[in-house]
Structure 1
Amino acid sequence: MSLLIIDGFSLAFRAYYAYPLSLTLANGNPINSVFGFMTLLLQAIDQLDPTHVVVCFDRPEPTFRHQAFDGYKANRSPAPEDFQSQVPLLKDAVRSAGIYLLEKAGYEADDLMGKCAVLAENIAMDAFIYSSDQDTFQLVSDHIKIVSAKKGQSSLFVYDHDAVFNKMGVYPNQVIDFKALKGDSSDNIPGVKGIGDKTASTLLATYQTLTNIYDHLDELSSKSIREKLRHDKEAAFLSQHLATICTDIDLDCDVLDFKLTLNWSSLKTLFESYSFTSLLKKYQRHFDQTESLDFTESPQSVTFDAICLDSKAALEAVLNRVTDTFAFDLETTSLTIHDAVAVGLSFCFNDKEAYYVPFLKHGTHATESSTVPLFNLAVNDVDSLTVPPLLTILKPILENPNIQKITHNGKYDYQILKRYDIMVKGMSFDTMLAAFLINPLAGVGLKALTNYYFNTDMVAYDDLVSKDETFLDVELLKATEYAAADAYFTLQLKQRFINELTKLSLDTLFYDIECPLQPILADMEYRGVRVDLDKIHFLSETLSHEQRDLMERIYTFANKTFNINSTKQLAEVLFDDLNLPVIKKTKTGRSTDNSVLESLLGKHDIIELLMTYRTNEKLLSTYINALPHLIHPKTGHIHTTFHQHIVITGRLSSTSPNLQNIPIRTEKGVAIRGVFIPSKPDHVLMSVDYSQIELRLMAHFSNDQAMIAAFNQGLDIHAATAAIMFDCDVADVTSDQRYQAKAVNFGIIYGISSFGLSKNINCSVGQAKHMIDNYFLQFPTIQVFIDNTISDARKNESVRTAFGRIRPLPNINSQHRSQRQFEERAAVNTFLQGTAAEILKMAMIRIENQLQASSLNASMIIQVHDELVFDVLESDQDALATLVRSEMESVVNYSIPLTVDLGVGKNWKLK
């Protein structure tokens, strides 16, 4: 179980400023905050999948803080009238959804959220507080996390103990004292005058608490800080009181009252009355289900028999009945593949019963008199991985390619069984992959899908397994019921999805590309990639030294020291001290984000230093300092996870680490690639990358003869484009003209605007517009291709790749220009990027088949966008290059050739 706690006004204000005021009711009254709130709320529910939800709001009455300090929040301006008018509608929307709304006179939403979180923590329930208010960081514990949106990221960011420290420089239990020292201008909490973030965090790092700081005041080396603390001691402890979230509140409800049961019928009525067309479309399947169910009676639960097979005779008797297809699911002790021990396996091959085969003794209820005794294997004893007897009996059927296996996220099961020397064959259908193809905007979790399709609530893992336990600690009867349900509903979903895939013409994509790719990715993850720790440490030291130098140079330009990572302090330096123009404001103040810094380039030397500093910080935190922690101690390799169900265009993505985001066009990004090395001294890494594949696809599908001719003649496409754009010979194209043509070529794919192009190539908007207009004048069929793609997308409210993948575009016919234009760009980009992704996936399948049939000592280890990386015995590199080039360049037969760039080296820098 988990509880999602929403900071009502925080989310409402975010929605108000994120969505245009042009969103209005028929009478002209704004409705943008309500629309945005419901959009963000439902997105959070989709992402976090909570069992319980509550929305907390402030009340207008004064609180105990106002009584303690008259100036509390006295500096705040009234909320805009257009916002205030929507608050009653917003609260009605929450209630209509069937979500618990909580407010209490005398207390702020922070206090209510804290109380709810503590109530959840008291019953070992995880609580997620969705708020942008950093005051809530003080609540973070093992069971309580803060979630908030990060710019440019679709998924919510989760703040745990370490993330709070990384953000604020202090730990959750120090947040109150941190605010007591530095104050909080947003709430008009005074703090100690002259104490800022850096001093406050330094003091707390040394003395831990506010009280301890004052107990050791005379020890402070800085006379100035001692005097400031002495002078404002009363204000410091008052601020401590004001900053403390009060959880000692009497509520007329309990956490179990917050059980989430969304009222889709009421939501449909609400969305229709407010003309929330995009939300109606996005959640159409929920509304369809609501209309098909009769809620005058309790929904009928799906019933089946869950049977435990804990003996050789019982298991063999059932396996003899399996003829051609079964669903299966493993239960383990860990989600980390090289740590997990297989506890048991469930399987199902009909609509009446599902079975659980325990490999190890469960709890205190394991059978001692089984025909084949269950193993007594310590949970941490994973290196031996002796195959349990009952798993040995299952091995032949799991390895039989003629018996089809149905899985949900079968990549994981495949990897665990591989550690037991079982190579699963016949993985023909994965319900998670099918669900993503059928509706890429919805969740793909087994429990969410079961709830939607069968109106059945499966038992949550966290409800079954306590925090410090594993599935091995679960009593056998409960383990059987839980595990059997996984296999049973996986099979039921498969039977539902077969028809949906065919109806949507997704069956070929699913069976020929997505499913065959799954075990290939599983093997890539399993073998992992070796990294050079010495190189990583050298990079860390080098970049850290550069950061210290940058800080000093930045301080010199600013004529003072300050927290470079503080938006507020940086804004004061840039806009107050250096008098640079304010480019953008947000509701929290003057923005100093990267787009602002880019706009200020050339106006002061400090800007370039700041941009370099930020880039370095990201490289250090995301890669250089993170990579050593990702090395698995048993394998010595980093095992990234590849995802087929995340990117809506169909591209693969990776996490832990995110290999796609390593910059490749900068010296430092290339240096990070250099830490990835072959598995053995006599091996090398080979990188094979499709050359300009999306441009080639645009030429083919637009049937633009000029561009097709350029590709077929093997010309430099950007120089050839420039020659046509500027009406000159290719030999006469200048480097500047080629640069401009390249920017337009790639910009067209992503629907670049005149403004965007002007920024990219540093010219006026008028010049950029002329270039784009001239481009389409010279390549008219490309304009036709783009127009037709958008026209078809408008008609279908979706776009398909060349191989059939569907991306829904619910806002492409929106009256709101920004929403409409975004989805128009997405239509073209999805077609090209998605088709390119599917071509690469097909190439991966063909290459892997060839490698399996060959004697080459080579393996695929990395996939990034249009690039594949192989670990190969040095003496086999020429044969591998021939094989890979042949398969990648011949995977489709188009009007233009697909060509690859190939490089070999002792690291991923290919040097």
Structure 2
Amino acid sequence: MAKKLLLIDGNSIAFKAFYALYQSLDRFTNSEGLHTSAIFGFNRMLDKVLATEQPDEVLVAFDAGKTTFRTEKYPDYKGGRSETPSELLEQMPYIKELIEDRGIKTYELANYEADDIIGTLAFQAEQNGDYSIVVITGDRDLTQLTSDQTTVQVSKKGVTELETYTTDYVKEKLGVRPDQIVEIKGLKGDNSDNYPGVTKVGDKTAQKLIQQFDSIAGIYEHIDEVSGKKLKENLINDRAKAELARELATINRHAPLTISLSDLTYQGPNTEKLIKFYEKMDFKSFLKQMANDGIADASQLTNIQYQVLTTDNIAELNQLGDEVNFQLELADDNYHTAAIVGFAIGTEGKWYASNNPKLLTNKVLITILESNVIKKNLFDSKKTMVALNRLGITLKGVDFDLLLVSYLLNTLNNSNDVAEVAADHGFDNIKTDIEVYGKGAKRFIPVDQPEFTEHLVHKVAAISSLHEKMFKDLDEHNQTELYWQMELPMAVVLAKMEIAGISVKANRLEEMGSKLTERLSEIEQQIYQQAGEEFNISSPKQLGKILFEKMRLPVLKKTKTGYSTAVDVLEKLAPDAPIVQNILDYRQVSKLLSTYISGLLKVINPKDGKIHTRYLQTLTQTGRLSSVDPNLQNIPIRSEEGKQIRSAFVPSDPQGYIFSSDYSQIELRVLASVSGDKNMQEAFAEGEDIHAATARRIFGLASNDEVTPELRRQAKAVNFGIVYGISDYGLAQNTGITRKQARQFIDRYFEEYPGVKKYTEEIVQFARDHGYVETLEKRRRYLPDINSKNFNKRSFAERTAMNTPIQGGAADIIKIAMINMDEALAGFKTKMLLQVHDELIFDVPVNELEEIKAIVPKVMDSAISLAVPLKVESHYGTTWYNAK
């Protein structure tokens, strides 16, 4: 029986693995800050290929360096390639360590490429006659090695989906024999490897010529038979290029190797070393595969048994017990409007799925879903609550929320796809929604096919399998209380807010839209008059020509495509050029019209006249909430025209009020508390204006009365900038002072607030030692680049380490306040509607106003005990606009 020889092109597979996971680069890092995406992908390839091929002998070949016999012949060979990313370079030694731990030999040879090593060993194995050879690569150049004994598999998608080239397949796909591939390359050259072929000869022409004349040599032997005057001329003129290109493309199958086939025996992995390697890389999923700790493998999941739920068997759900796993499937992400298309429910060994949403209103299911006694494990409890509410069902008894727990364990693990989140925790045996439904215009949910209900059951089985393990992880992270006391109750509060919505006067928005349209037209005509011609104001290219060529304004910055017309550039030019200020005004009014007037009008619910925003609880790295569809946290407040948009937001009762309460300088109060700085704490304790107090200290003034508005502005910039690790350059840019002055300000700041300086140093060191930082409530943020060799990445991670406990601490405080507020408002008709950063917005009936004026500040003030007092400012009015 023939032996199986497996030859792997190490460099090309490493590159493919790296770029396949490039979008998830930050998610693939270990606790020491090492990027691991290429290592992870390479290992997945090895898992699949070794299991499929079961080789007797294996080698992974690598390039020895950039200089080879090919560069001697053609110095610009591969010269056009960009530098290998440092994030990949740092992984290469570990890829080789992984290969060694898996019991596989690696080899490289000076002056030769990995292709030549593979080609030579494949040739030797073919000559031996007792081998079948499989080559794994990411480079189609190696398909020239295909023969009756040698199969070449080229990575097609990522590194685990491979396209298999046999001699017949080469002929079918490329239209030539394997040995003629180099002839094609000689004629057309190779942009990737940076060598030219014959002028104006591409794939089709090259293929046609080789099919007719068999080889480059054959072409020149019969040059007079080549049709096409220009083609023949190019072939004659570029003969030397064609012959050189062919030579460069040809794999050397007689390289002077110092190893032989007998050195490549595969005996399997060194388990002890491999476990240590996986632990060092934080490869939990691979460790779990080895440990076989009970998580279902792919074969078990593929054959999972379930029943399609109908009215005939729905009573069986009563036998599931006091804990069920539940998955509700919606047509799209906007669960306020998306149709419910199906659901799955069950426990281990008893799974049910349905594509009939009407069954959700069956008494059996309603009893289960609304029971506080029966625990529910699911994915995204808030989404499920809001969607079920549309059916009149109030979801209760949520125990495990996979999305929330995953987010707490690592804020980067926050995908909306069950499969992706499950994979982050070692359960990577189910398909993603994109794999089942497709994406974009091709997205289609096959609700009437078994594939759909099977997919739902796979999701709910993943939730069930991860439940116990992820709760243990929460315990290990000291985050169990954060989940039960904050994030899970927060989901309930947000669901109530989203369901309530906020009333919006469409006619008021339309009225503002008409005025803004007139205003936009006026500004447009002024710009045309000032420019002396009409042009597309929204076109950076046309605008650049007007400003910098016709009007000869100073060019402050250029881009790859021409002059920069970015806001920061225009703001610097505006004081000396009236047209520029008009352009800035034009952009602002245009955005108000498109984003806020038209955008808001589109999302007013016609049934209740309200806007129901969605709050993303798992988006930000700091724990802050984000509003989407539409974003009501981002309505402009700097311009009067922007502020006016808030006048369309009104109480549900025309006689009622919009009530607003926000925390004053909450981040600086958190900083004063966590840093323990006595001077800052004293300023807050005495009720001082913290920015004036800082100005007094920095500038050595006798009292706050001597602080001018300009000095206070500069001090404010230092106060807010310092905790974000602002540099002297950044402070100078923000305040308009010199860099030297900015450095003096920062130095003076740290002298006056030594506790803050100590805090910044200690928190960065903590991050270096542990790989993360956390808030007072134990919310963690992992910083994979904190020990990076790349200065920019490391510096950003250090700044993030400083500000995350502050921003995250402020986010925690307002969440606690919201949860407490929800309890305090029980029995009132007042509803909490919106959270906008450090501000809460309420809809208050007229007869409850006086009580709410007392309750809200009291609840917010007492949310958490800091070393300094919290301060809340409240306002109310008949619209959101005049509640300030």
| Map of 2:765 onto structure 1 | 791
- Does the aligned pair in 1 maintain the 2:355–2:447 contact within 8 Å? no
Q: Within 1, Cα distance between the matches of 2:460 and 2:411?
A: 23
Q: Root-mean-square deviation (CA), in Å?
A: 3.9
Alpha-carbon offset, residue 436 of structure 1: 1.5
Q: 1:870 aligns with which of 839, 842, 850?
A: 842
Alpha-carbon offset, residue 816 of structure 1: 2.7
| Map of 1:489 onto structure 2 | 462
Query: Map of 1:30-109 to 2, 5 A cutoff?
Result: 40-42=22-24, 83-84=81-82
| Map of 1:546 onto structure 2 | 519
Q: 1:635 aligns with which of 608, 615, 625?
A: 608
Alpha-carbon offset, residue 461 of structure 1: 6.9
What per-residue deviation string (whole Å, max 9, x for no partner) do you get for residues 130-184 of structure 1?
xxxxxxxxxxxxxxxxxxxxxxxxxxxxxxxxxxxxxxxxxxxxxxxxxxxxxxx
The residue identity in structure 1 corresponding to 2:855 is L
- Does the aligned pair in 2 maintain the 1:359–1:391 contact within 8 Å? no
Query: Map of 1:340-489 to 2, 5 A cutoff?
Result: 340=338, 342=340, 344-349=342-347, 351-356=348-353, 359=356, 391-444=362-415, 445-451=417-423, 453-458=426-431, 460=433, 463=436, 473-475=447-449, 477-489=450-462
| Map of 1:886 onto structure 2 | 858
Q: 1:879 to 1:795 in 2, by over 3 A?
A: same
Q: Within 2, Cα distance between the matches of 1:79 and 1:865?
A: 55
Deviates further, 587-596 or 884-893: 587-596
Q: Within 2, Cα distance between the matches of 1:888 and 1:102?
A: 64
Query: Map of 1:523-538 to 2, 5 A cutoff?
Result: 523-538=496-511
The residue identity in structure 1 corresponding to 2:310 is D
What per-residue deviation string (whole Å, max 9, x for no partner) do you get for residues 519-556 of structure 1?
21112111211111122122222222222222233333
What SS does structure 2 have at the residue aligned with 1:329? Answer: strand
- Does the aligned pair in 2 maintain the 1:570–1:592 contact within 8 Å? yes
Q: Within 1, Cα distance between the matches of 2:876 and 2:307?
A: 54
Q: Within 2, Cα distance between the matches of 1:849 and 1:800?
A: 27
The residue identity in structure 1 corresponding to 2:807 is Q
Q: 1:901 aligns with which of 868, 873, 878?
A: 873
What per-residue deviation string (whole Å, max 9, x for no partner) do you get for residues 220-239 of structure 1?
xxxxxxxxxxxxxxxxxxxx
- Does the aligned pair in 2 maintain the 1:304–1:353 contact within 8 Å? no
Alpha-carbon offset, residue 513 of structure 1: 0.8
| Map of 1:848 onto structure 2 | 822
Alpha-carbon offset, residue 304 of structure 1: 3.2
Alpha-carbon offset, residue 318 of structure 1: 3.3
| Map of 1:141 onto structure 2 | none
Q: 1:732 aligns with which of 697, 706, 711?
A: 706
| Map of 1:673 onto structure 2 | 646
Q: 1:786 to 1:82 in 2, by over 3 A?
A: farther
What SS does structure 1 have at the residue aligned with 2:843? Answer: strand
Deviates further, 477-486 or 536-545: 477-486
TM-score, length-scaled by structure 1: 0.64
| Map of 2:40 onto structure 1 | none
Query: Map of 1:545-694 to 2, 5 A cutoff?
Result: 545-694=518-667
Q: 1:558 to 1:40 in 2, by over 3 A?
A: farther
- Does the aligned pair in 1 maintain the 2:361–2:391 contact within 8 Å? no
Q: 1:791 to 1:461 in 2, by over 3 A?
A: closer
Alpha-carbon offset, residue 315 of structure 1: 2.8
Q: Within 2, Cα distance between the matches of 1:729 and 1:691?
A: 22
List alignment gaps of at least 5 residues for structure 1.
1-32, 47-77, 104-115, 118-279, 361-374, 376-387
Q: Within 2, Cα distance between the matches of 1:40 and 1:541?
A: 46
TM-score, length-scaled by structure 2: 0.66
Q: Within 2, Cα distance between the matches of 1:425 and 1:746?
A: 42
What SS does structure 1 have at the residue aligned with 2:873? Answer: strand
Alpha-carbon offset, residue 625 of structure 1: 1.6
| Map of 2:785 onto structure 1 | 811
Alpha-carbon offset, residue 785 of structure 1: 1.1
Q: State the percentage of identical aligned residues.
A: 33
| Map of 1:831 onto structure 2 | 805
Q: Within 1, Cα distance between the matches of 2:433 and 2:783?
A: 32
Q: Within 2, Cα distance between the matches of 1:79 and 1:910?
A: 69
| Map of 2:491 onto structure 1 | 518
- Does the aligned pair in 2 maintain the 1:719–1:730 contact within 8 Å? yes
- Does the aligned pair in 1 maintain the 2:430–2:459 contact within 8 Å? no
What SS does structure 1 have at the residue aligned with 2:788? Answer: coil
Alpha-carbon offset, residue 897 of structure 1: 0.8
What per-residue deviation string (whole Å, max 9, x for no partner) do you get for residues 636-678 of structure 1?
2111110011111110001111122222233233212222111
How many pairs were matched up? 642
What SS does structure 1 have at the residue aligned with 2:864? Answer: coil
- Does the aligned pair in 1 maintain the 2:355–2:448 contact within 8 Å? no
What per-residue deviation string (whole Å, max 9, x for no partner) do you get for residues 344-386 of structure 1?
542123x2231225656xxxxxxxxxxxxxx6xxxxxxxxxxx
Query: Map of 1:495-514 to 2, 5 A cutoff?
Result: 495-514=468-487
| Map of 1:307 onto structure 2 | 307
Q: 1:390 to 1:636 in 2, by over 3 A?
A: closer
The residue identity in structure 1 corresponding to 2:746 is I
What SS does structure 2 have at the residue aligned with 1:661? Answer: coil
Q: 2:328 aligns with which of 314, 327, 330?
A: 330
| Map of 1:782 onto structure 2 | 756
Structure having the higher Rg = 2
What SS does structure 2 have at the residue aligned with 1:654? Answer: strand
Alpha-carbon offset, residue 335 of structure 1: 5.2
- Does the aligned pair in 1 maintain the 2:718–2:731 contact within 8 Å? yes
Q: Within 1, Cα distance between the matches of 2:317 and 2:615?
A: 35
The residue identity in structure 1 corresponding to 2:785 is N
Q: 1:45 to 1:315 in 2, by over 3 A?
A: same
Q: Within 2, Cα distance between the matches of 1:838 and 1:456?
A: 35
What per-residue deviation string (whole Å, max 9, x for no partner) do you get for residues 437-457 of structure 1?
222224532022344523313
Q: Within 2, Cα distance between the matches of 1:281 and 1:590?
A: 48
Query: Map of 1:4-23 to 2, 5 A cutoff?
Result: none
What SS does structure 1 have at the residue aligned with 2:575? Answer: coil
Q: Within 2, Cα distance between the matches of 1:557 and 1:796?
A: 59
Larger RCO: Structure 1 or Structure 2 (Cα < 8 Å, ≥ 6 residues apart)?
2
- Does the aligned pair in 1 maintain the 2:353–2:456 contact within 8 Å? yes
Q: Within 2, Cα distance between the matches of 1:832 and 1:733?
A: 27
The residue identity in structure 1 corresponding to 2:870 is L
Q: Within 2, Cα distance between the matches of 1:547 and 1:563?
A: 14
List alignment gaps of at least 5 residues for structure 2.
1-14, 29-75, 93-113, 116-135, 142-155, 158-278
